[in-house]
Amino acid sequence: MNNQKPQSNNNMPPLRPMGGGRGPMGARVNGEKPKNAKKTLLRLIKYIGKSKAIIITLIIIMAVVTVTDLAGPALQGAAIDTITLNQDGGFSVDFDAMVGYLIMMGVMFAISATLALFQGILAAKLSQNTVYTLRNDLFQKISRLPIKYTDTHKHGDIMSRMTNDVENVSNAISQSIASLISSVLTLVGALSMMIYYGWIMALIACLTVPLTIFISTNLAKFMRKYFVERQKILGKINGQVEEMVTSYKTVVAYGKEKKAVEEFSESSEELKKCAIRAKVWGSVMGPCMNFLGNLQYVLIAAFGGFFVLNPVPVMRQLSIGNIQSMLQYSKKFTRPVNEIANQYATILTALAGAERIFEIMDSADEIDEGTNEITVSEINGNIEFENIDFSYVEGEQVLKGLDLSVKKGQKIAIVGATGSGKTTVVNLLTRFYEIDGGRITIDGIDICDIPKSTLRHSIAIVLQDTVLFSDTIRANIKYGRPEATDEEMKRAAALAKADVFIERLPDGYDTVLAESGSNLSQGQRQLLSIARAVLADPKILILDEATSSVDTRTEMHIQQAMVALMQNRTSLIIAHRLSTIRDADRIVVIKDGKVYESGNHDELLSQKGEYFKLYNNQFAGIAT
């Protein structure tokens, strides 16, 4: 028995279940605090590290590029020193040596430019390989999440993490990873060369380093919150757009276009302000680092000139060429810090996106502790709900000690007022949600002991809200049983009365459906959903108001087909239209989270209880 409650997400506010006892289907984006940036960076580095061959090659190329780059100032200084002053005030030039140095500089620059091209190609490969793995891992994780997660998180925000956040990580890797590696190599190389020319000058060059670290560290702490907040707001906007597109007919029908635009404009304005703050503060780092770099340049020039005129015994004699080389190396010493500062906005955005990605990856997988080796063919369909307690929101029970027994082959109808928990019974049977207390068994086996793949393959569901995919009609009908033959598929379509309209379509079963089957009528989509369930040939059939979207005549034909379909098959019918369940073996009325009444149609009417009220209210034209 599994009395474990579904794991709650501490970052999400408690949400109430929506109509018909269903789980919640949306939530606002909240302002949770950002996670540890160091931890996020280390996890991201692990993904980058999976492309070891590319990284090693990239480091070798950049090392060579750095060496050729660092050789430039030394050669430049040597070329300058080929010009010497004579005692009479004139000067002489060693043209052979100068030409040699210039040729070597040209070769170095050519090598550096060529290798930089390959460096860009490898950086792009590293970026795409990393995000390919990251995106696949994220999508696989989403496929393992419990239903509760997708019910309590904005779908648009989840999509934003898959698209925008992953793309930001990709941009950061392609733009910043090579820059970071190059910066480290250049930093070490430039410092080494400055020490070579004069350790005192190297110390002078390092005077600005503590100030650089202090400013960059404090600016980073201040800036980061804006980049994290920007990603959250962007996810919120994606959720609004997704909701607007999927609910567009309802928005237009109620004339709420202006309100929808206003709400979007408010969020867009919020994003604009946050993005401006993030961009402004992200841009502050670069000028600050440039100022410190120029300050260092001035210090090197001033002290270098002083030491040329006033040699220091503990340091080698400096020449004009040496000072020129030192100035170039000082620039190369500060350039890595400036590059990192200029890339900081991109890096922060990537880290903020990576945090959001890892939040999903760190969420608990759907529980599946089933170890029973029963197969789908061995399931008979005897179902027992024993003293079931359940709540979507802690402290607000939907089901309270519910007991229900369904025998193999029985046709059981479940009725009740809106929100009474009818659909919740189905959600628990399929383990879309975990019970708080009690026990559900199939053929005497606790459903927690049955692997979810086995459990769900033995059940076919036709929902009130049809779900179709952007694929052919053939693929949609075969979705639950891909190995079925075309003949079996067509028989299922005929049984569901869907063959008539399918064969009238220009491409028949090869007709490609638009998103969610929007190029079909609601009734036609319902027929395809029923055909899918027929073809799946389940042991247990669940119909959640399956004929609510078809006309009365089609409903009559479907009801006739369902009689044959339900033979020797346990069937649970959630019904609002009570006229469709008169021939059910047993009708169960749920009220206050319990089975309030149970019996066939005539028995319940004769009792003149809750079912009698529901039936008479419906046929009197009063809303249930």
Between 34 and 203, name the one with better pLDDT: 203
The per-residue pLDDT for 477 is 92
Mean pLDDT of the chain: 80
Q: Is the dihedral of CA 280, 286, 290, 292 positive or negative?
A: positive
The pLDDT score that the predictor gives to residue 439 is 93
Mean pLDDT of 575-583: 75
100-156 pLDDT, tens digit each: 888 888 888 888 888 888 888 888 888 888 888 998 999 999 888 888 888 888 877
Burial 453-487, CB ≥16 within 10 A → b, else e: ebbbbbbbbbbbebebeeebbbbbbbbbbeebeee
Instruction: Dig out the tokens for 436 from the structure.
Output: 């708080």
Bridging pattern class, strands 570-574 and 586-591:
unpaired
Q: What is the mean pLDDT of the segment spanning 475-498?
A: 89
Angle at 117 between CA 113 and CA 121, to 5 degrees: 160
Kindly report the pTM of this predicted structure: 0.66
- β strands within 472-604, DSSP E: 540-544, 570-574, 586-591, 594-599
Nearest C-alpha neighbor of 98 from the set 114, 79, 85: 79
pLDDT tens per residue across span 179-214: 777 878 888 888 888 788 777 877 887 777 777 777
Share of the chain above pLDDT 90, in %: 11
Residue 37 has pLDDT above 80, yes or no: no
| 313: Cβ contacts below 8 Å, ≥ 6 apart | none
Beta strands in 353-419 (DSSP E): 383-390, 399-406, 411-415
Please report, to the nearest 10 degrees, the dihedral formed by the alpha carbons of residues 406, 412, 417, 419 taken in order. Answer: 50
Is the pLDDT at 334 greater than 80? The verdict is no
State the pLDDT confidence band at 619, using cuts at 50, 70 and 90.
low
